[in-house]
């Protein structure tokens, strides 16, 4: 038993019933009252939100439950950074031992790993990411870019004989990978590469699991041969000795220091000085050096670069799921709390649960709708990616372009929405949301990095908008678009068209919501194309013209397409739900989500005269109706999608509703909770 748990047990025995919350407040009964209102089918909700592999999440929950001494919540234990890092390592080893999943299982269905990773992330983001850096960045890169001679390193990673990291980002370069400064110069005399960090801006930076843990890393560097630069390539490089874990000669390893979140990950920096590695360090699936000459199966440097980094889209795609988990857990904590927390009421009457107030309903139910829609789309995108692993590096697979565009915009939307939802949830809890014990602060900090890593959101959106502009050019040439999600695009002017939905009954039809969102994409695409042409006429530099078209145009276009994609996926999921009350609930979520999007961007819809003023008023009235209806189903829905209490790790999110007692137990059991400070005499110094 941990020291914290021992303190809690002792104090719980001491305080007994006399100091616990009075029963007349009935927090358990308050939550149960709202739980009993739910009429949805849990199994259909689970299948819709988590898919066919959801049972693997329960396996992860059990592994964690069965080792409580190792799997402990850092925010409840108040760990130091060093303890947190060490415990994350122990958790990595323990989970790998107990997970009961082989590499062969993964190859049969890669989506199993994704869904288990989702459950791990719900438990603790640092542990999940440390796991992901090793298995999915380090090992997966060897699988994707290496050849048969590198297979032994894959096996060593699987059994944790090696712990690996992924060294791409530099102090001076993140999103612009092509311009990284680290070099790997081929020495024809010795058949070796000499890796160098030419200056401080070339330091490999923020490299996860590297400051303390990794003995191997995949280094991305400019391949130099006979004075010619052949572009960025990946090299498998040992950085620490297996004998004493000291850095290899020619390698300096340091710690990037304190961070805003993810304190369980030892982010480090790397510096290389004339560090020689054998030729076989090159992951040479696409490029080789033979007889002192560079050889490649992909002559186009652009194409080769894109394929080498193509597998990184998997990271963006899984972030959409992880960000959704952050949002969902914060929402669960806030919604359960809102059902229990009572404030104000009519004179002489009992106080109301705060979830009965429309402003609380609006914030929570609108957030719930955002989560549900983004989660369904994220799940389907992850399944699509996982089931097309063999095609990711296929030169002939043009659908990968659509997948990259989708992954970019979904990563942006999901991470930004999670940030907003967590903040809303923290505010719903009022002052209690500021307590670290309730995990919301940790969720906010751990989610924050999702906005900028694996590609800065605003940079990634440019990839999506370029995809849409390329599609418009295809249409203008009289050719057909081959990508399923953008078949609705047209070059025929859409300004002046009217929305068919004029009254509440028509808002109910998901196809009407989808049509409005598709219209907006077409409008923004046509306006963006015209603005880009205008800028090209006034800017001799295409790069400047492109950047000058981002604000109000291409950036908004990409986000609008992302919302269309989410709508398409959710409508498809709706059609698979056969339980009447569940379908009604999910339809309400979609309607609320869609109406909120139109209302929040009413300027665009009114500017194009697509939505009339009277229709806008009816939409707002309908939103108020929807949030009231959704309130009664919210707890039932969140009970299904939220992990059990030992994973959630939040006293105010406790499923049984006994939130105040659980909270007080942690506060009273905290180290030094009742202690006098050692420096008390400085408060009251003795007069001389």
Catalytically annotated residues: 454
For Cα atoms 475, 478, 481, give the angle at the middle one, nearest 5 degrees. 45
DSSP state of 670: S
Q: Provide the token pair at 89.
A: 């390592």
Burial (CB count within 10 angstroms: exposed 0-12, middle 13-18, buried 19+), residue 551: exposed
- Side by side, the strands of the sheet bearing 204-207 are 204-207, 268-272, 251-255
CA distance 126 to 550: 34
Please report, for residues 70, 203, 575, the alpha-carbon distance to residue 572 in angstroms, rounded to integers and kept in the order given.
41, 46, 5
CA distance 78 to 76: 6
Q: How many CA atoms lie within 13 A of 357 on its CB side?
A: 16
Reported for 480-485, long-range contacts at CB under 8 A and 24+ positions apart, including other chains, are 482/398, 482/399, 483/399, 483/401, 483/402, 484/402, 485/402, 485/406, 485/564, 485/565, 485/568
> Does residue 10 have a known ligand-binding role?
no
Which residue is it, tokens 């009664």?
Answer: 632
In contact, 472 and 188? CB cutoff 8 Å: no
DSSP state of 71: S
> Does residue 169 have a known ligand-binding role?
yes
Q: Beta partners for 294?
A: 289
CA distance 326 to 490: 37
Annotated binding site for FAD: 169, 208
Annotated binding site: 169, 208
């Amino acid at each position: 038993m941990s020291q914290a748990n021992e303190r809690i047990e002792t104090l719980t025995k001491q305080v007994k019933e006399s100091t616990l919350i009075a029963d007349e407040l009935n927090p358990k009964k308050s939550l149960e009252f709202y739980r009993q209102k739910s009429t949805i089918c849990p199994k259909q909700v689970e299948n819709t939100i988590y898919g066919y592999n959801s049972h693997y999440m329960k396996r992860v929950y059990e592994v964690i439950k069965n080792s409580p001494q190792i799997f402990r919540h850092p925010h409840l234990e108040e760990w130091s950074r060093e303890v947190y890092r060490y415990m994350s390592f122990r958790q990595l080893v323990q989970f790998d031992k107990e997970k009961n999943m082989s590499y062969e299982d993964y190859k049969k269905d890669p989506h199993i790993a994704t869904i288990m990773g989702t459950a791990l992330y719900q438990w603790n983001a640092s542990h999940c990411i440390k796991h992901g850096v090793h298995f999915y960045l380090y090992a997966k890169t060897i699988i994707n870019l290496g050849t048969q001679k590198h297979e032994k390193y894959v096996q060593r990673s699987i059994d944790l004989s090696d712990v690996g990291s992924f060294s791409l980002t530099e102090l001076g370069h993140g999103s612009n990978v092509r311009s990284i400064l680290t070099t790997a110069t081929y020495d024809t005399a010795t058949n070796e590469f000499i890796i160098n960090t030419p200056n401080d801006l070339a330091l490999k930076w923020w490299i996860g699991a590297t400051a303390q843990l990794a003995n191997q890393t995949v280094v991305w560097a400019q391949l130099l041969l006979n004075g010619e630069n052949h572009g960025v390539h990946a090299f498998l490089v040992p950085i620490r000795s297996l004998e004493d874990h000291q850095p290899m000669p020619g390698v300096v390893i340091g710690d990037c220091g304190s961070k805003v979140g993810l304190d369980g990950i030892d982010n480090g920096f790397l510096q290389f000085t004339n560090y020689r590695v054998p030729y076989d360090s090159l992951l040479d699936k696409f490029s080789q050096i033979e007889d002192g000459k560079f050889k490649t199966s992909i002559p186009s440097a652009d194409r080769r670069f894109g394929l080498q980094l193509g597998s990184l889209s998997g990271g963006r795609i899984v972030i959409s799921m992880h960000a959704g988990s952050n949002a969902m857990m914060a929402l669960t904590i806030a919604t359960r709390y809102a059902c229990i927390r009572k404030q104000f009421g009519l004179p002489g009457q009992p106080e109301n649960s705060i979830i009965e107030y429309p402003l609380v309903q609006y914030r929570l139910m609108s957030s719930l709708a955002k989560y549900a829609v983004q989660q369904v789309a994220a799940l389907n995108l992850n399944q699509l990616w996982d089931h097309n692993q063999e095609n990711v590096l296929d030169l002939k697979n043009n659908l990968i372009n659509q997948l990259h565009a989708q992954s970019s915009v979904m990563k942006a939307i999901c991470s930004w929405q999670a940030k907003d939802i967590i903040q809303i949830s923290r505010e719903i809890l009022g002052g209690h949301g500021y307590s670290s014990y309730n995990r919301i602060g940790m969720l906010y900090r751990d989610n924050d990095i999702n906005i900028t890593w694996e590609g800065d959101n605003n940079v990634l959106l440019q990839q999506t908008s370029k995809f849409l502009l390329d599609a418009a050019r295809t249409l203008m040439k009289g050719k057909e678009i081959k990508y399923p999600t953008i078949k609705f695009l047209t070059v025929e002017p859409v300004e002046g068209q009217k929305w068919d939905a004029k009254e509440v009954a028509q808002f109910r039809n998901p196809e009407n919501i989808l049509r409005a969102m598709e219209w907006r994409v077409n409008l923004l695409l046509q306006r963006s194309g015209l603005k880009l042409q205008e800028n090209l006429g006034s800017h001799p530099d295409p790069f400047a013209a492109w950047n000058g078209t981002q604000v109000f145009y291409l950036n908004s276009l990409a986000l609008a397409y992302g919302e269309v994609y989410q709508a398409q996926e959710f409508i498809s999921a709706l059609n698979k739900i056969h339980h009447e009350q569940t379908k009604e609930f999910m339809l309400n979520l979609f309607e609320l989500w869609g109406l909120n999007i139109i209302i929040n961007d009413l300027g665009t819809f009114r500017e194009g005269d697509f939505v009339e003023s009277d229709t806008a008023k009816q939409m707002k009235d309908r939103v108020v109706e929807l949030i009231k209806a959704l309130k009664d189903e919210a707890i039932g829905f969140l009970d299904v999608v939220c992990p059990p209490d030992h994973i959630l790790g939040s006293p105010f999110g406790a499923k049984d509703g006994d939130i105040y007692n659980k909270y007080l137990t942690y506060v009273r059991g905290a180290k030094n909770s009742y202690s006098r400070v050692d420096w008390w005499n400085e408060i009251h110094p003795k007069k001389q």
